[in-house]
Amino acid sequence: MRPFDAADETLAVECYSGYKGDERPVRFRAGGAVFEIDRILDRWYTPEGACFRVRAGGAVFILRCFPDSGAWTLEPCPAHRKRHEP
């Protein structure tokens, strides 16, 4: 899979909505392909929004949600941050 380039590609994220809206991502579309999220490896919150380290399509990504604008960003997870996951 080629890297996602936010400058020239569109990112669309579908979320599970539980007791609060857009609780966690379940799939995303980038570069014309749809990726099912196999596992959420980590999640954390910043003043700007929520961040998720996810496994999808055999790779690990960081998805960031900015609720004030409704925008998401996607980036590959740096190799040094990957851990062995079952």
**60-85 pLDDT tens trace:** 999 999 988 889 999 998 764 445 55
Amino acid at 74: L
**12-64 pLDDT tens trace:** 999 998 887 778 999 999 888 999 999 999 999 999 999 999 999 999 999 99
φ, ψ of residue 83 to 5 degrees: the values are -125, 160
Q: Considering the domain boundaries, does residue 6 fall inside one?
A: no
Q: Report the number of distinct structural domains present in the chain.
A: 1
User: 73 lies in which domain range?
Assistant: 11-77
Q: Which of 15, 11, 57 is nearest to 30 (CA)?
A: 11
Q: Considering the domain boundaries, does residue 72 fall inside one?
A: yes
* pLDDT of res. 77: 86
* pLDDT of res. 2: 40
The single residue listed with the structure tokens 């007791």 is 19
Q: Considering the domain boundaries, does residue 1 fall inside one?
A: no
Return the structure tokens found at 62.
């960081």
The whole model's pTM is what?
0.78
**Contact assessment for residue 49 and residue 67, using Cβ atoms and an 8 Å cutoff:** yes
Q: Considering the domain boundaries, does residue 19 fall inside one?
A: yes
